[in-house]
Structure formats: C-alpha cells, structure tokens
Amino acid sequence: MRIFKNEEKLSPEYVPPRLPHRERELSLLETFFSSHITGQPAVSVRALIVGAVGTGKTALSKLFGSRLEKANSAIRYVHVNCKIHATLSSILKKAVEAVGAPIPVRGLSSEELGGRLMSLLDRKKMLLVIGLDEFDGFLHSDPQGIYTLLRLGEERSGETRISVIAITRNVEILEDMDESLRGMFQAGVIYLEEYSYRQLADIVEFRCSEAFYPGVMTEEAKGLVVDMASERGDARYAVELLWRGGKYAENEGAPRVTPEHIRKAAASIYPSVRREVLTYISRHEKLLLLAAARLLLSSERSRISSSELYQAYRVTCEELGSAPKAYTRFWEHMQRLEDLGLIRIKIESGGSRGRRSFVTLPGIPASIMVREISALLEASERE
C-alpha cells in the first residue's frame, strides 16, 4: 500500500511554496525590503522575526529569501543557524561562500572576511540578505560581532549591500539588547502569533495534499493532529505527527493513516514523563526546572513569567551553591528544555507591558518534578 506521494515534503528542511496564514507577514517583509525588490539603490534593512516554537519563523524567512532572489537576480539570501555558526567569522564565511568566493576563505580573520565580502558584493553588484536564525546564539556568544556585521559597509560610500533578518523565539530579546542595537531592529519587528485551531486545520490540509496520496490520511486522523497541535499552536508538531503517523501506517502495511497511528506518533515524540531525560540534562537545566516547579507549586498558578522564573532560578542557584548564568544563557537552557518537551514557553500579550513569555509544565505534576530533580541534584552532589 502506498501511503506517501512525496515523503520529502514533510522533512524538516523542506520549505513549502506557500505558507497559509502567514501571507500578511510575508507582505510585511516585502514592505520592509521594497527597495531591494524594485531595484532602487537599496537601503539596509534589519528585520526581526519573533514567535514561539513552530510558528513558522524559519519557513517564513527562507520562503521570503527565495522570493527575493526570484524578484531581483542581484539578491542572494543566505540562511545561517547561529546555534551552529555563533561567531562573526563563521557567519561571514558562510556569506562569502554563498556569494561565490573564487578563493578559499579558510584562515582569514573576520576583518579580512568582511573586506572580502564587501568587495565581492561591490564587484558583482549584489545585495546580500542574511537570515540569522536562532539569533540568541549570536547575541550571546559574539555581541560585538553583531555590530560589526550590521555596520559592514555602512562606513563605505556607495550602496548598502547587506541586510539582516534576525529570528528568535525570545520575545524579550529587544530588552536584552543595548540601546543602539535595539534601535536598529525596533522598526522591523514581526511577531508570529501561535496558530489557532482553524489555521492549523488549513495547514494540515495543505501539507497532507502535498505529501500523501488522496484519501490516505483519514479525516479522523487529520482532526486528531489538529487537536494535538493546536494545544501548542505549533505547526512543527503537526508536521511531525503527520510524517510519523504515515510511517507507522506504512510499516504496518495499512492502507490508510488512522487516529491510532497518530497516537503512536505522539507517544514516540514526547513519551510520558521520562526519567532518563531528566538524568541527561545539564546541572543548570535541572536548577531551572527545579525553580520552575517550586514556583508553580508554591504560587498555585498555572504559569509563571520567564522573568519571575529567572529570579527564582537565581535564588535556587544560590541555595545550591552554583553561580547563576546570565539571562541570555538562561534563555538558551529554557529553549532546550522546551525542545525536550519538559517545559512549554507561551507568548502572551500582557496589556500595556507588551508581549511576555510564560512557562508551564505540561503533563508533569510540579510536585513530582521537584522530587525527581532534587533527588538527582543530591545524587550528583554525593558523586
């Protein structure tokens, strides 16, 4: 029985040709980059895409990048994951390669790379747009490098040739920046809200039509995917459930994907409380989880803000004799815990205070979390 028409279309690298319910954000990007598209002398653009996990940040930036390249053949879009390329020189290296460096760039300093990049762009009359995904990584490890990158070419006469789209899950990132950096990004912020139930239903429909033979994914199975994903507003979870559900059906030789295949898929993505996950997270991730669980327990609230959690984490660190990490590092730990399914970070509008991020513990009683983590921390103390 054939299940997948094109399995590739559910792979993490694949970027769909359109993004339902992100049309407004795409046209906002077009507005920001209008000078690039019309081929007027370009102004340097700094955009910042912010949104929770699976809201389509990476897909939006990549799709926009490819549309830019189509609209104007002088534009190159290069997408860099700053978790992997966290320093200016490795980002510049990627950029120089994307523009087509004629000579090897190994062993050059970042000044040399910057100069090389600018003269390449000048010579080829090209405009470069760099998507800096997981921008937190860069902000944390090379804050000075960001300035250098943004200012590249600014001191030079002639056209600006480099623009940036920074991408992050951290809604409070502007507050983590110093004033001049904030000033550069402030006017170009795009918030991606979590997808609603209806929106995810459309997304699931579209992704199924690309990946599966007609009728293979039952309506019941689709509905379950939408139910599960809408609890998180997370399209990545939906896509992953579709793919894994399809694989279960394929392996069983089933003619269709049923809700049971989706339930199996869900169980394999986030198996219920995993002690072993708790054992391999780092000490500071444990301290953070412990602080979250304690605060949720004592406050009797369903969620706490990430700034409250940071304070609680500092107290917990002090109590257990560890030096607390800086806020950006703390935020990286939060994202890892979220990726492991141990916490949920939700972005909510906090009225006059703007958007804030809140932390919840999905499906694990805080009391059990406190007990488990405390035991693990004590055990590591004894070692």
Residues that bind ligand ATP (CB under 6 A): 16, 19-22, 51, 53-59, 169, 203, 206-207, 235-236, 239
Nearer to ligand ATP (CB atom), residue 129 or residue 373: 129
Nearest distance, CB of residue 203 and ligand ATP, angstroms: 4
CB of 33 vs ligand ATP, minimal distance in Å: 19
Q: Is 79 or 161 the residue whose CB approaches ligand ATP more closely? A: 79
Min separation Cβ 346 and ligand ATP, Å:
13
Calculate the CA dihedral of residues 218, 224, 225, 231 and round it to 10 degrees. 160
Q: Assess 335 for contact with Mg ion (CB under 5 A).
A: no
Residue 235 binds which of ligand ATP, Mg ion, none (CB < 5-8 A, kind-dependent): ligand ATP
Q: Which does 168 bind (CB under 5 to 8 A by kind): Mg ion, ligand ATP, none?
A: none
Q: In this complex, which beta carbon is closest to ligand ATP, that of residue 122 or of residue 338?
A: 338
Token pair listed for 236: 């990545």
Classify 190 as helix, strand or coil. Answer: strand
Residue 21 vs 263, nearer CB to Mg ion: 21
Cα–Cα dist 335/83, whole Å: 12
Q: Which stretch binds Mg ion (CB under 5 A): 55-63, 100-108, 271-279, 311-319?
A: 55-63
Task: Point out the residue whose Cβ comes nearest to Mg ion.
Answer: 58
Residue nearest to ligand ATP (CB): 56
Q: Which 3 state secondary structure label does DSSP give 85?
A: coil
Q: 4 with 123: CB under 8 angstroms?
A: no
For the bound state, the minimum distance from the C-beta of residue 278 to ligand ATP, rounded and expressed in Å, comes to: 22
Nearest distance, CB of residue 226 and ligand ATP, angstroms: 13
Name every residue whose Cβ is closer than 8 Å to that of residue 134 and which is 6 or more positions away in sequence.
81, 82, 83, 167, 168
Per rule CB under 5 A, is residue 58 in the interface with Mg ion? yes
Q: Which stretch binds Mg ion (CB under 5 A): 25-33, 53-61, 84-92, 258-266?
A: 53-61
Q: How far apart are CA 173 and CA 195, in angstroms?
A: 21
Counting beta carbons within 10 angstroms of the beta carbon of residue 315, is it exposed (0 to 12), middle (13 to 18) or buried (19 or more)?
middle
Report d(CA 219, CA 200) in Å as an integer: 14
Q: Tell me the HSE value of 145 on the side-chain side, using a 13 A CA sphere.
A: 22
Q: Is 257:217 a contact under the CB 8 Å cutoff? A: yes
233 binds, among ligand ATP, Mg ion, none (CB under 5 to 8 A by kind): none
Q: Please report the DSSP string for 87-138 in residue order.
A: SHHHHHHHHHHHHT-SS--TT--HHHHHHHHHHHHHHHT-EEEEEEETHHHH
CB of 101 to ligand ATP, least distance (A): 28
Residues that bind Mg ion (CB under 5 A): 57-58
